[in-house]
Each structure stands twice: as structure tokens, then as C-alpha cells.
Amino acid sequence: MDRTGSDAGLPPNTLAVEAPAKLNLCLRVLGRRDDGYHDLQTVVAPLSLADRLRVHAFADPGTFRTLSLSLDVTGEPALTRGVPLDETNLVIRAAAAMAEETGIRGFAEFGLDKRVPAAAGLGGGSSDAAAALGALNRLWGIDLPAGDLIRMGAAVGSDVPALLARRPVLAEGRGEAVTPIRLARLDWVVVTFAFGVSTAQAFGWWDEDGGPTGAEPTGLLDAAAGGEPEAIGPLLQNDLEGPVTARHPAVRDALDLLGAAGCAGVVMCGSGPSVAGLLPAGGIGCDAAEEGELERLSGRGPVRVSSPAG
Ligand code: C5P
């Protein structure tokens, strides 16, 4: 839930917002484009696991002649390691892109509390950027329409438009064409790994392997609206899963363990290496012993999360 300066005892011109992780119920890669990106059809759902972003910002062309941006990152060392603090961080890139396009002069100070692992396929950095755009749109008093935010977000990263929606969506093109979908609330077990996979690397492996391209998500979209985990589970699909598991067998092992633990379906998250198991109705499945096995395999305890209804 987002908190504003006025309703949460925060200083003036300050917002505290959540930046939810995501998973892809389906990630269908259609093919490589001339610009090096890949055309996709992907069903993206935000998760209850989220980074926290605090934004203190103000803009006034009469007062400020320059733009000043700063970022402080906190969190467990395992989560903050490798998160850039400079202008390459997607939060700063998003703020700079917005200021550039709107001619804003003023400042923005970001405090980012990391809870979502980086390079995990969970969209953490992209969601931070989406949250920054939403907060600055209010604090800088720009009030851009959603379409402009999506365009700016797409320039920062292909996952940003889907995460700006803050609800389940079908994303197409390179990720910028976003359509809201109906999805019931679902419960998941997510397994993360100590190593990361870069998005460019995963798509490069898909090119190297010559595919695959899975089925159209029509059946999944129907099942998603119905909300039965047992109907949705078998339709979960990710075309990057084969290329990534071929190079990282532990990811395949985690998917198999989740399946054996009674999940209604399993799928790799985005470009990996995180994997998710969809829990059957009632949230049962994956007992303590099975969680222990997953922890021994991945080096990290699995986390239970939900994707809210939308
Ligand atoms: O858009 P973003 O910067 O997140 O993408 C990182 C990399 O992932 C791109 O440079 C590209 O190699 C790959 N990618 C892709 N097709 C997409 C999204 C990302 O090939 N639709």
C-alpha cells in the first residue's frame, strides 16, 4: 500500500510506495527483431513481495536552475549486492528520462529498501523504476497521462510498462503494449538463487538454441479469469525456461522439486533463474521437509507470496 506525506506522518513532498516483484504466468517468445529485441506475448502478475521506495522530491522552475537526483539503497547484503547506486540504476534513469522530457528543474531523493533479489527474473529493478515514475509524476506536479508514463517506462526497460499497471496484464511487442486481464488471487512458492541471469543472456541463449515458441496464451487467459489453480497450473509456460535450465540444471531441479511437492503448476519467472510453484486451492502443498530440500538446492529459503486479484 502507498503512503503519502499527509496521511502517514511523512515530511512534506514525500511519498512511500511499494514496488512489487512480478512473475510471468506465460512468456511466449515470438522471434528476434531487427533491433535485437524479441517480440513477446507475456502474462505478468504483480506479487505481494515488494521493494519499498521512499521519494522526497520537489520541482519549481522559479526556484531551481538545475536537476539534482540522489539514491540510497538499504537491505540485506545478499539483496543489495550488485545494485548500482549511480546513474545506471533504473530509478535514476527513470527520473532523468522524465525530467529530460518535461524540462523539470528541482530535486528527487530516493531511499530504496531492497527486498526483491536482483537479476532474478522478478522485475525488481523495473518495478523500482515504475514506482519512481508514478511518485515523481505526483511530487513534481506533472500529472502525465498513463500513456506517457508507459512510453517513458518502455525507454527505461521492457518490463516497466507491465509493472506501471500495478495489476495483471498481457504485455506484447517488446513489452510496451499492455492490456489489463482478469486474474483471480493466486498463492505461490517462489525459489530464488544466489546467482543471477541477465535478461540479455537469457534471450541470447534462446537465439542460440533456435527457440522454442510455445502455444498461444488463449487457454491460459480463460483459465486465469476462472481462477482455478488446477486449471491454470498445466498452462503455465515460459519459452526461456529450456534455454536457461540447459545452462543451469539447478533451475530444472527446483522446478521438478516444486512439482513433486504438490504444486498445481510450475514455471520459471521471466528470464530466470527464480522459479515459482502455483499452490493448489487452499494454499496447501509444499510442506516443511520439501521447503528444506528446496533451500538445500538453491541456497535460499523459498518464499510464499500471492498475486492479488485483478
Ligand atoms: O528492455 P531491457 O533493458 O530490460 O532489456 C534488456 C535486454 O534483454 C535487451 O538488451 C535485450 O537483449 C533483451 N530483451 C529482448 N527482448 C525483449 C526484452 C528484452 O531481447 N522483449
* Residue 121 DSSP class: S
Q: What is the mean pLDDT of residues 84-110?
A: 96
Question: Given this model, what pLDDT does residue 7 score?
Answer: 53
Q: Which of 28, 37, 39 to mutate to test the pocket of ligand 1 (most atoms within 8 A of CB)?
A: 37
Q: Provide the pLDDT confidence category of residue 3 given band limits of 50, 70 and 90.
A: low
What is the Å distance from ligand 1's center to 127 Cα? 15
Question: Given this model, what pLDDT does residue 8 score?
Answer: 66
What is the Å distance from ligand 1's center to 158 Cα? 6
For residue 244, which of 267, 260, 261 has the smallest C-alpha distance?
A: 267
The phi-psi region of residue 210 (left if phi > 0; otherwise alpha if psi is between -120 and 50; otherwise beta) is left
Q: Provide the pLDDT confidence category of residue 80 given band limits of 50, 70 and 90.
A: very high
What is the Å distance from ligand 1's center to 163 Cα? 15
The pLDDT tens digits for 162-203 are: 999 999 999 999 999 999 999 999 999 999 999 999 999 999
Q: Provide the pLDDT confidence category of residue 1 given band limits of 50, 70 and 90.
A: very low
For residue 286, which of 259, 306, 265, 268 has the smallest C-alpha distance?
A: 259
Nearest-CA residue for ligand 1 atom 4 is 157
Q: Which of 160, 172, 174, 203 to mutate to test the pocket of ligand 1 (most atoms within 8 A of CB)?
A: 203
- Catalytically active residues, by annotation: 22, 159
Is there a contact between 41 and 239 (Cβ–Cβ < 8 Å)?
Answer: no
Instruction: Tell me the pTM.
Output: 0.95
Question: Given this model, what pLDDT does residue 260 score?
Answer: 95
The pLDDT tens digits for 18-74 are: 999 999 999 999 999 999 999 999 999 999 999 999 999 999 988 999 999 999 999
For residue 26, which of 200, 173, 224, 230 has the smallest C-alpha distance?
A: 224
Nearest-CA residue for ligand 1 atom 15 is 37
What is the Å distance from ligand 1's center to 223 Cα? 28
Q: Return the ligand 1 atom nearest residue 158 CA.
A: 1
Letter for the amino acid at 299?
G
Q: What is the mean pLDDT of residues 261-284?
A: 94
Nearest-CA residue for ligand 1 atom 20 is 37
The phi-psi region of residue 85 (left if phi > 0; otherwise alpha if psi is between -120 and 50; otherwise beta) is alpha
The alpha carbon of residue 188 and the mean position of all alpha carbons in its chain are separated, in whole angstroms, by 15
Q: What is the mean pLDDT of residues 118-132?
A: 96
Q: Which residue has the cell 500513456?
A: 147
User: Which residues' Cβ are closer than 6 Å to ligand 1?
Assistant: 36-38, 40, 157-159, 174-175, 199-200, 203
pLDDT exceeds 70 at position 243: yes
